Structure formats: structure tokens, C-alpha cells
Chain A
């Protein structure tokens, strides 16, 4: 187990360095990078703006020194200052928005598990039934659904036509201060229903498909046949033996699905006007606010990397073959 941990830790550090190198190359190697002649024709980048870029990144120094300086800054969470009018440090801007994005992604992950796993199990147990077929249709629609369109449709039905739910922001603006605690919670809930639907739809499809296939395979494995032959009751077979084996790899799958989950934040935060990291990224791209763009990109990739790392550890803890030190 310790050997495993050390290996994973080393791999984490290498990946982290890789992420910084790729992010750094994007700044400097993109053909339209801040100093390329292409940007001279870009009216959004004035000479003064270019000078600021040069100074900020030390673009007149050799590449490896620039990289080293950038890396040193990142370790101290210093991503420079925003190019926008307020000139605030990038980390401050990200910091105040991170909790909202994390909260929504965390809630989505829970919802995806709570809905996707039972759906997949049901589908596998009742393979071929009407319910299973409906689930399969749902799964493929979930795969193909453009999330921003799904958001528009929800806004149209529940916001515009039925007036049941608000379609923008995290909470009401008028009268929010006077609400009691419970009213505030209810207010947040109402605002979060649509964004959460959008954030979870694709994920539920993915997870239930995975659980269905995995469960189906396990149910037809030899050791289940053996358990049946031994005369174990159906419930024990399904919930004790089959489920454990089918759900174990789910930990890894969840880790791997983090990038697309976090990536979705850009879309639903932009559409629903939620002040999170995704919306910040979009605004920064629209305003060509490079320090914010690079800071956000680095931070979300770091979060994904950590998520994967935790999933790896979780998997190792759950799987006795790794926990007890045997190589898999």
C-alpha cells in the first residue's frame, strides 16, 4: 500500500508539471500569442496592453526563465493581476467564485450517484424489459443532448411558460436580505433546480450505462453462478456479491468523469448567470483577460488531477487486492 501511495504521488507530481508546461506553452506558442505579429491587427490589443503583457510575463527573457518565474508564482498561488479595470489579483477573483462551483459540482455528483446507480442496477436486473429499454433510450438522449439547449428548454418551460422557477442567478435580488434562514435555503433551492438538472443529465446517463454494463457482466460471472448453485438467497447474491464487484470500478469512473463535469460549469454558469469559476472563465475569454484565463485553466486542471488522485486512493482502499499489497 505504501509503495502504491508513493508511486501515485510521484505520478501526481509529474502530471502536475505536465499541466504547467502545457498551460505555459499555450501562453507562448499559440500562433496568436500576446507577442505574435498577428495580434497587431487585433484592435483589442493596444500597444500599452502589449507592453503590460511583456512586463508581466517577462516576455523579453529566455523561455526557461519565464517558465521558472511563472512556476514560482503559481506555487504561492500568485497568478498575477487581472487585466480588467479592477486590476485585482487573479487568485482573489477565483477564490470568491470557487465555493459556488464546487458546491454545484458536489451536489451534481451526489445526484448523479443517487439516480444513476439505482437506474443502472435496475436496468441490469431487468435486462430486456420495457424499463430497461426506456433507460437505454434515456441514456442515449443524455449522451447526445446539447447541455446549453437543454438549459434553454428548461428555462422556457419552467421559467417563461409556467413561471415556477427563476431562470437566472443564485438567489433572489429583491428582498433576499429580509428572508429568514429557511426562506433563503428555499430560495437557493429554487434557483439551483434548473442548473442542477443541466449539470447532472449527461452524467446520470453515463453512470447508469456504466453501472448497467458492469452489473450485467458481474451477474453472468462464474462466481455468481457458484453462489446461486450454493443456494444463496437472490438478495444476498445481488446486493452483497454482485453489487460490490460491479460498483468498485465506479470510483475510478467518477474520477475520470470529473473533467467533463467541471467543464460543464462554463456552460450552465454562463446561461443561468451563476457567479462561479466557469462564468469567470467565459468572461475572461470574452475580455481577453489572459492572467485570469491561465489562472483558471491551471486551477481547474489541478482540481481534476486531485480528484483523480483521490479516486485512485479510494479505489486502492476499497480493493483488497491493492490494499493488501498485491500487484494488479
Chain B
């Protein structure tokens, strides 16, 4: 709550948070807000440029681009929320074990993280997806499984710096179980940095999802996603600029909002430490 109050003092934080809330609102009420059915094909309205009736134009099948983009925001948010949920759970779990127990366990987990980081993410995701049928669920899981390393490192470092503190010692003397110490005493103190990485991670997950959909192995048409809408944009580059401009702009703004929110949170939690990557 205090974090939220602090956030309201930062102009950039307020703007990016409002943008994200606006996006969530659109995604939740997509079926009410969208002016047209995003799947409805209208043969007599193919490739209509932006006009009053269709503010962002129509696509090759005469579908309303604005309505499709509104529904796509739902998909993008769903994918990134689940993906980041998975990666945060894995990261927090492995990071806290590594940080708390140290020694061999820590060594093995750190080594595992290093090795995972050697794989260029896109190649790793592509290789895994090749063995699965492309579906929304698949990309959620695959993105989640390949993006937990940052959180794990972060949580590990937090726990390392916290575990020697007096209040943890007190809890130990008091006879608290390991489980209780980690989840009740250590992790809540690491919440801030985890929030930062969730926010930054959401942006990255949306980027990866849209890239995969653009490459034809993510969200499959006719289900709209900002990424797969751009496939059509590429094919009609010469005749219909609106098909490539608007969905891309939506991705850029959304990712920007999540990134800036994460940066602002980082600044609030730790004003001196500047993130270095």
C-alpha cells in the first residue's frame, strides 16, 4: 500500500499504471467495448482505410481492425499473466531454496541458471514448440518455463542478504520451521524486487508472445493477437498501411507501460541502485 502511495508521486509511474489499468479494462470488457464482431467476415468491406465507420480500417476479410485489436489485448494479457505467473513461481521457489540453503544446492541451481541463460531464448522456445501443437496454452507454458532465471537470481540475492539478519535468527531460535521462515519471514521482504521483475517480465512476455504469433507459431488465426495481425500487415504492406501500423503501436505502448512501471517501482524501492542490464 505504501508502495502504491509512493507510486502516485511519480508522474511516469502514474501514466504507465493508468495505461495498464485502461488496457486491463478493455481486455475484460472486450465483448462490450468492441464495436463489431472480431470474427465476422464482410466481403463488401475488404481493406477499408480508417474512416468514421471503421476507425482503424478493416482487414483482408473485411473484419474490423479496432475490434480485433480489442479482443487481441485479452489474449496478450492472458498469455503474459499466466506465463509470468509460472516463471515467477519457479523463480521464487528455486531462488529462495538456493539462497536459504546455500552450499551444494545453491551451486547446482546457480549452474542450472547459467546454463539456461546460454540458450538464446527464441531458439529454445522454437525448439520446444516444434514438439508441441502451437496453442495459447503451449506458449504460456513455454514462455513461463524459459523466463524464470532473472527472478530466481534476484530472489536468491535478496534471501542471501536477509537470512543473516537478527529477525531471522530470532525466528530460528523461536523454533520456526524452515518453510515458515522462508515463506513468512524472508519472502515478504523480497516482495518489492519481485514486483519489479514481474512488471518488467510482463513486457518481455508480451514481446515474445507477439513475436511467436508473428512467426506463425504462437496464437493461431482466426483468434486475433497483435502479433498475428501483423502477418497480414506484412502481406499488404503496399496497399494497407493501417494493418501493420496499429497492432504494432499497441504492442509498443503496452510493453513501454509495463517497462516504465517496473522502472518506477525499482526507483521507489531502491533509489540508489540503478538496474544494470
- Chain A residues packing against B (C-beta within 8 Å): 14-15, 18-19, 22-23, 26-27, 30-34, 38, 42, 140-141, 143-149, 152-153, 155-156, 159-160, 206, 210, 213-214, 216-217, 253, 256, 258-260, 262-264, 266-267, 270-271, 281-282, 284-286, 288, 290, 293-294, 296-297, 300-301, 304-305, 308
Contact = CB atoms under 8 A, between A and B. Distances in A.
Nearest to B210: A146
B216 interface: yes
A263 B252 contact: no
B130 A160 contact: no
9 contacts: A22-B116, A140-B260, A144-B259, A146-B255, A210-B276, A267-B211, A267-B215, A301-B123, A308-B118
B183 interface: no
A188 to B, nearest CB: 23
A270 B121 CA distance: 16
A30 B277 CA distance: 32
Contact of A304 (B111, B119, B126, B211): B119
B128 interface: yes
Contacts of A144: 203, 207, 252, 255-256, 259
Given A282-B215, A297-B127, A271 B237 contact: no
A42 B127 contact: no
The contact size tier of chain B is: 35 or more
Interface of B: 111-112, 114-124, 126-133, 203, 207, 210-211, 214-217, 227, 230, 233-234, 237-238, 241, 244-245, 247-248, 251-252, 255-256, 259-260, 263, 274, 276-277
Nearest to A34: B131
Contacts of A270: 215
B132 to A, nearest CB: 4
Contacts of B263: 140
B227 to A, nearest CB: 8
Contacts of B215: 148, 266-267, 270, 282
B121 A259 contact: yes
Given A281-B123, A288-B130, A259 B230 contact: no
Nearest to B254: A144
A15 B123 contact: no
A156 B115 CA distance: 39
Nearest to A217: B274
Contacts of B245: 153
A213 B276 CA distance: 7
A152 B233 contact: yes
B129 A285 contact: yes
Contacts of B118: 15, 19, 259, 301, 304-305, 308
Contact of A22 (B115, B217, B233): B115
B260 A152 contact: no
A217 B121 CA distance: 31
Contacts of B117: 256, 259
B102 to A, nearest CB: 19
Which 4 A-B residue pairs are closest in the complex by CB-CB distance? A149-B248, A263-B120, A18-B115, A144-B255
A43 B43 CA distance: 32
Nearest to A146: B251
Contacts of B277: 206, 210, 253, 256
A271 B129 CA distance: 20
Contacts of A145: 252
Nearest to A18: B115
A26 B244 contact: no
Contact of A297 (B114, B119, B233): B119
A285 B132 CA distance: 11
Contacts of A216: 274
Contact of A32 (B132, B216, B247): B132
Which of B115, B121, B203 is most buried by chain A, counting CB atoms within 10 A of its CB?
B115
A156 B126 contact: no
A34 B131 CA distance: 7
A140 B16 CA distance: 13
A263 to B, nearest CB: 4
Contacts of B120: 258-260, 262-263, 300-301, 304
